[in-house]
């Protein structure tokens, strides 16, 4: 544990701004003398005391609730003091300053907490594991109800329980392999009698389920970036407004009205979708519009999916056909192959033309952004593109690093299976693949980890957490 982890820390633990209640939190070892000096009395453990919070001259800064949680029965695993006062920024700053002032004699090393340091200490003191610590931040940042519920499952330990189950099964299999390595003179075929192949196969099947649920959880946390692209006046801004259910973008019959991107996050069945309306794609001599078009291509290049909007009312116009063909060619060149392009034919209400059923082998979506006809079909198509499985149960929140670790586990188990299935398995290589798989699993829950990884994770927290 680093030296800074020995220091007592203090911070305002509620969000900035005005509120009904605000909290100042102090955590450290041996806080009882500090509590006595600060409040002029001792506090009964885990009981709320309504009392004045005095300044250095004994005059009340405010009145509120004080709670003292002796170690180890606290959020951080250390002694914790919480002062719950009225939630004005000035009041809370005065209380925090008073804590630092009172600590000069009773708690001389007290300092302001760094971002995420309270939760970091909870992790270091074995109150929670690393996946649960990350779930706290994800619960705070959740943008949808489904994301919040999934983060709650991770915080309660469901994700960690699955990882621990995988790890325990992996340790048992490693034990068998290591025993075979350590006692080569024995003629007993440990691996065959213990059904090592069956154990490894079960491990891989269980891992596949965990990866599927974690992938769904990562989708709930991150969502996907969807860019609406197309020629001017195809109805891109109207489609953004229809999906968002609000007039976010200006809509006019004048081509080139949208000069810069307009972004809105919506949710479909709890999945966040970051929808971006962009400038119409065409050749332009207008400098401002050209900048907008360049920015549109920048957004398209970073998209998870692209809605290529077509105008049904102009579908047979030679110039319009040529413009769509040019955009299609540019998309083929600039987009990675794994980024889906959904062809959307708009203005169904204003045209008698029959749009194509499919474009380039892909099913097209037909709709009217003005009337809303076909929007539900588009929403379901977006969920399909995102990889969301409707009715998924038991999804827990996950991060990109969790998925990366699980993919590493999968790769190591595949290598292990290849060794185990060979006629003359190299047991030392098999043991090494299993060890590397276990290390990847351990990195999810923080069974071991470098300080720089912890720093990256906890620095994204708010100060009071």
pLDDT value of position 25: 97
- Domain shared by 239 and 354, yes or no: yes
Report yes or no on 438 lying in a domain. Answer: yes
| Residues tagged in the binding site annotation for (6S)-5-formyl-5,6,7,8-tetrahydrofolate | 25, 82, 127, 465
The model carries a pTM of 0.77
Residue 387 in contact with residue 215, Cβ under 8 Å? Answer: yes
CA of 129: how far to CAs of 171, 277, 282, in Å? 19, 40, 52
For 270, phi and psi rounded to 5 degrees? 85, -5
Neighbour-count burial for 16-28, b at 16+ CB within 10 Å, e otherwise: eeeeeebbbbbbb
pLDDT value of position 452:
46
Please state the residue numbers annotated as binding site for GTP.
233-238, 252-258, 277-280, 368-370
Residues 212 and 239 in one domain: no
Q: What is the mean pLDDT of residues 48-77?
A: 96
pLDDT number for residue 458: 66
Helix (H, G, I), strand (E, B) or coil at 68: strand
What pLDDT does 403 receive?
94
* Binding positions: 25, 82, 127, 233-238, 252-258, 277-280, 368-370, 465
Residue ranges of the binding site for Mg(2+): 237, 258
Beta bridge partners of 87: 19
Phi-psi bin for 374: left (phi > 0), alpha (psi -120 to 50), beta? left
Q: How buried is 366 (Cβ within 10 angstroms: 0-12 exposed, 13-18 middle, 19+ buried)? A: buried
> Does residue 464 sit within a domain?
no
Total structural domains in the chain? 3
Last-in-domain residue among 128, 149, 175: 128
pLDDT at residue number 203: 95
Q: How far apart are CA 83 and CA 22, in angstroms?
A: 8
- pLDDT at 460 exceeding the cut of 90: no
Q: pLDDT digits over 198-236, tens only?
A: 999 999 999 999 999 999 998 888 888 999 988 888 888
> Average pLDDT, whole number, for the chain?
86
Looking at residue 46, what is its pLDDT? 96
One domain, residues 99 and 51:
yes
pLDDT for residue 250: 43
How far is 347 from 368, CA to CA, in rounded Å?
5
Residue 69's beta-bridge partner residues? 80
Give the least confident one: 168-177, 264-273, 275-284, 405-414. Answer: 275-284
Question: Any residues with CB less than 8 A from the CB of 373 and at least 6 apart, and which?
Answer: 348, 349, 367
Which residue segment(s) compose the domain that 269 sits in? 223-386
Provide the annotated binding site for K(+): 233, 252, 254, 257
pLDDT of res. 255: 45
């Amino acid at each position: 544990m680093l030296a800074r982890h020995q220091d007592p820390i203090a911070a305002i633990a509620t969000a900035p701004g005005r509120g009904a209640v605000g909290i100042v939190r102090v955590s450290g070892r041996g806080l009882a003398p500090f509590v006595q000096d600060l409040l002029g009395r001792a506090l009964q453990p885990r009981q709320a005391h309504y009392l004045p919070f005095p300044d250095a001259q004994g005059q009340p800064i405010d009145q509120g609730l004080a709670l003292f949680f002796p170690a180890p029965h606290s959020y951080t695993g250390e002694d914790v003091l919480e002062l719950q006062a009225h939630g004005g920024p000035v009041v809370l700053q005065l209380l925090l300053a008073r804590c630092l002032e009172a600590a000069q004699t009773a708690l001389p090393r007290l300092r302001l907490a760094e971002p995420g340091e309270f939760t970091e200490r909870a992790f270091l003191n074995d109150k929670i594991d690393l996946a649960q610590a990350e779930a706290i931040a994800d619960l705070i940042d959740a943008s949808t109800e489904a994301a919040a519920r999934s983060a709650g499952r991770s915080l309660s330990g469901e994700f960690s329980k699955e990882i621990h189950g995988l790890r325990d099964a992996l340790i048992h299999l490693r034990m068998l392999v290591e025993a075979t390595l350590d006692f080569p003179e024995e003629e007993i075929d440990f691996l065959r009698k213990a059904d090592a192949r069956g154990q490894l196969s079960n491990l891989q099947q269980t891992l596949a389920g965990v990866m599927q649920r974690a992938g769904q959880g990562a989708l709930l946390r991150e969502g996907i970036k969807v860019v609406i692209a197309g020629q001017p006046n195809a109805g891109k801004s109207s489609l953004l407004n229809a999906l968002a259910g609000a007039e976010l973008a200006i809509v006019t019959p004048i081509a080139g009205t949208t000069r810069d991107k307009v972004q809105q996050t919506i949710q479909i069945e709890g999945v966040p979708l970051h929808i971006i309306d962009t400038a119409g794609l065409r050749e332009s001599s207008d400098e401002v519009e050209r900048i907008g078009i360049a920015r549109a291509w920048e957004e398209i290049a970073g998209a998870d999916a692209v809605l290529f909007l077509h105008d049904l009312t102009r579908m047979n116009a030679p110039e319009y056909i040529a413009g769509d063909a040019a955009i299609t060619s540019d998309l083929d060149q600039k987009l990675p192959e794994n980024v889906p392009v959904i062809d959307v034919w708009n203005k169904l209400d204003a045209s008698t033309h029959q749009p194509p059923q499919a474009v380039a082998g892909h099913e097209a979506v037909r709709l009217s952004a003005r009337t809303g006809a076909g929007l539900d079909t588009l929403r379901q198509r977006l969920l399909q593109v995102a990889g969301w499985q409707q009715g998924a149960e038991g999804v827990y929140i996950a991060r990109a690093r969790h998925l990366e670790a699980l993919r590493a586990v999968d790769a190591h188990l595949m290598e292990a299976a290849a060794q185990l299935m060979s006629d003359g398995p190299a047991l030392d290589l098999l043991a090494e693949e299993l060890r590397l798989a276990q290390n990847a699993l351990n990195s999810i829950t923080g069974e071991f980890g470098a300080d720089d990884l912890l720093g990256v994770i906890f620095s994204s927290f708010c100060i009071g957490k």
